[in-house]
Amino acid sequence: MKKEKTMRCIFKTLFFMTALLPLGALAKISVTNPIIFATQQAGEPTAVFMELHNDGNEAVNLAMVQSSQPANLVLHGTQNGKMITSDGIEIPAKGNVKLKPGGLHIMVFDSATALQAGGHFPLTLLFDNGEKIQVKANVVKYSQ
Ligand SMILES: [Cu+2]
């Protein structure tokens, strides 16, 4: 089971690199209120939260996240109070998903710099329908 999921993820990754769909056919996903918690020092783990909206008639998965700033970004869920890595975050057809503390989030490891409140952290979100969305997460003081 686990292996199958990994293969699917790899397939999706290749799909992004080889087959970018024409832009007009896309634009089903939108993002609101992307934030990232500030850190005291470089390398301190932090997390990104946002709301994802899907206007399409089919479910879409957030499959990968990248940043132009050096850091390792990983999709995370939360199970029994512990964080677990996730292959993809599904946004239901005509629906929303909220990434929030204690739930789904984008984990940020190994950031090359500390993130100061008031700043921005650039993100590129890659979806399994071929959509690619660039956002700037607002750096906010840690809360909760
Ligand atoms: Cu996490």
Domain ranges of the chain: 29-138
| pLDDT lower than 70: segments of the chain | 1-26, 144
For ligand 1, the distance from its centroid to the CA atom of residue 106, given in whole angstroms, is: 7
pLDDT at 12: 58
Give the distance (Å) from ligand 1 centre to CA of residue 79: 11
How many Å lie between the centroid of ligand 1 and the Cα of residue 14? 25
CB 85 within 8 A of CB 23: no
pLDDT of residue 13: 58
Nearest residue to 65 via CA among 19, 31, 114: 31
Query: What CATH topology corresponds to 29-138?
Result: Immunoglobulin-like (2.60.40)
Residue with tokens 């994802």: 52
For 35-46, the pLDDT digits (tens) are: 999 999 999 999
Q: Reduced to 3 states, what is the DSSP secondary structure of residue 15? A: helix
pTM: 0.81
CA of 103 to the centre of ligand 1 (A): 9
The predicted pLDDT at position 143 comes to 80
